[in-house]
Amino acid sequence: MTRTFFRNASLLDGENLPRRETTVVVAGNRITSVSEDTAAPAPGPDDRVIDLAGKVLMPGLWQGHFHSGFGAFGGGTSAPVLGLEEPTAYLGMLAARNATTALHCGFTSIIGSSNGQGLDVCLKEAVLAGVVEGPRVTACTHEFVVSGDAADGTNRSWFMGLGSHGLVRRLDGPEAFRQATREELGRGADVVKISASPGHGSHVARDVCYMTDAELRAVTDTAHERGKRVRAHTASKTSILACVRAEVDLIDHADRIDRECIDAILEADATVLPSMLWYDRFLGLAENWDHDAQPFPIGDGFPETREQTLARIRGVREDYDYTRSVLAEVAESGVRLVVGDDFGTPLMPHGDYVSEMELYVKQLGIPALDVIRWATKNAADAIGMGDQLGTIARGLLADLLVVDGDPIRDIACLRDPARLRAIVKDGVFVKDAL
């Protein structure tokens, strides 16, 4: 078997400080050796040897909150929640495009975060079958909501309740949640998404948890029995604590997280995905909008007065400023953080994933090394794949990037296609500009 020798690399393995003059050997889809150049095995005549002088070798990135079917309207300001607004076949095409985009941005793994109509499972299988060129897919279910919650599409779109589910799946009571969890995991999903609170974006936040403890438990027990995971939209202290108590694995957004939440999350070994780029983009538009001239176009689907719109925007600002003020404390506490934001929603085009990482480093002062760990090692650990992916070590699967730049000094270099010189997924070069 021909091997590939990446020699003289600056190794950024997602866990440790960079190590210079390192050789990584890949055979098939596995990393077979990681050592100092001087201690590396000798290449054979058929092996490919690549000198990476001045370049960084790092694990493939993970996008931890991937809505594969979002983005129909190209990042404009008036995208509906994707459900039945588009035919299923069109959503599949979008998902294929988004998956290919992610892979070519260096994101070799994605963790789904709700989609309609089995899209993620189809995408996962299409990638495995070679039908779509895409990253490794951890497939997510519909977004499970209770009647009357802010994400329940029946509140605003008459067709959402007709039996063919759009993005969301409306459920009430533990039995309904249990059955839906069994059904969607049985169809091949890997993670269940539940909507536990309003807030984080266009909906006004309130300190509530939509789901009862019994409903939460019905989902987590059913998923964990099958070795699967559960993620929850949480934007209130009450919902964070309720979800963590019920052993939800991935806490999305976690707005209003505080010391009590941090302690509970650490105790439960849960993962937090703050996904703050959306806030930043939303407020950039909302706070500069001429609200006297025309209505602000991003809302939750209900008519509202100008005063209500302005109050909603002020609420988003308060939530954002609060989370900005505590995120460093969360990071320093040892909570496992992972990157992943609502790309495909208005102002957030798929492919712009590195901007979220850049925000944490440049606006919030989180060290780049930590944010890279959030996008590699932590993400793999969060879904129980840390022994296979997320770092560069002997025996692991070969998902690798070669970067002509120093992401520790300037994380934005990861966004530049010219600097992303190679992308390797499962031992195969997706991009090879070496």
Q: What residue ranges bind Zn ion (CB under 5 A)?
A: 113, 342
Report CA dihedral (413, 52, 26, 14) to the nearest 10 degrees. Answer: -40
Q: How far is CA 434 from the centre of its chain?
A: 29
How far apart (Å, rounded) are the C-alpha atoms in residues 237 and 243? 10
Could you tell me the smallest distance in angstroms from the CB atom of residue 169 to Zn ion?
15
Q: Is the Cβ of residue 34 or residue 194 nearer to Zn ion in the bound state?
A: 194
Could you tell me the smallest distance in angstroms from the CB atom of residue 67 to Zn ion?
6
- Whether 118 contacts 68, CB under 8 Å: no
Both tokens assigned to 95:
């998902």
Beta strands of 13-100 (E only): which ranges?
Answer: 19-27, 30-36, 48-51, 56-59, 61-66
Report CA dihedral (17, 18, 20, 25) to the nearest 10 degrees. Answer: 110
Could you tell me the smallest distance in angstroms from the CB atom of residue 313 to Zn ion?
20
Could you tell me the smallest distance in angstroms from the CB atom of residue 215 to Zn ion?
20
Could you tell me the smallest distance in angstroms from the CB atom of residue 134 to Zn ion?
19
Q: Is the Cβ of residue 101 or residue 113 nearer to Zn ion in the bound state?
A: 113
Could you tell me the smallest distance in angstroms from the CB atom of residue 356 to Zn ion?
12
Nearest to 77 by CA among 351, 284, 285: 285
Maximum CA pair distance of the chain? Answer: 73
Alpha helices of 277-411 — where are they, by DSSP H? Answer: 277-286, 306-333, 354-358, 368-374, 377-382
Q: Is the Cβ of residue 338 or residue 397 nearer to Zn ion in the bound state?
A: 338
Q: Is the Cβ of residue 14 or residue 201 nearer to Zn ion in the bound state?
A: 201
How far apart (Å, rounded) are the C-alpha atoms in residues 173 and 160? 20
How far apart (Å, rounded) are the C-alpha atoms in residues 335 and 321? 20
Could you tell me the smallest distance in angstroms from the CB atom of residue 342 to Zn ion?
4
- Whether 22 contacts 66, CB under 8 Å: no
Could you tell me the smallest distance in angstroms from the CB atom of residue 232 to Zn ion?
11
Residue nearest to Zn ion (CB): 342
How far apart (Å, rounded) are the C-alpha atoms in residues 70 and 73? 9
Could you tell me the smallest distance in angstroms from the CB atom of residue 66 to Zn ion?
9
Could you tell me the smallest distance in angstroms from the CB atom of residue 85 to Zn ion?
17
Q: Is the Cβ of residue 114 or residue 157 nearer to Zn ion in the bound state?
A: 114
How far apart (Å, rounded) are the C-alpha atoms in residues 30 and 153? 44
Q: Is the Cβ of residue 13 or residue 85 nearer to Zn ion in the bound state?
A: 85
Q: Is the Cβ of residue 10 or residue 113 nearer to Zn ion in the bound state?
A: 113
Could you tell me the smallest distance in angstroms from the CB atom of residue 131 to Zn ion?
25
Nearest to 51 by CA among 8, 15, 80: 8
Residue whose token pair is 């509140």: 155
Q: Is the Cβ of residue 10 or residue 234 nearer to Zn ion in the bound state?
A: 234
Q: Is the Cβ of residue 113 or residue 391 nearer to Zn ion in the bound state?
A: 113
Q: Is the Cβ of residue 178 or residue 200 nearer to Zn ion in the bound state?
A: 200
Nearest to 52 by CA among 8, 5, 19: 8
Q: Is the Cβ of residue 82 or residue 389 nearer to Zn ion in the bound state?
A: 82
Q: Which long-range contacts (CB under 8 A, 24 or more apart) does 331-336 make?
A: 331/366, 331/370, 333/262, 333/266, 334/266, 335/262, 335/265, 335/266, 335/271, 335/272, 336/269, 336/270, 336/271, 336/272, 336/378, 336/381, 336/382
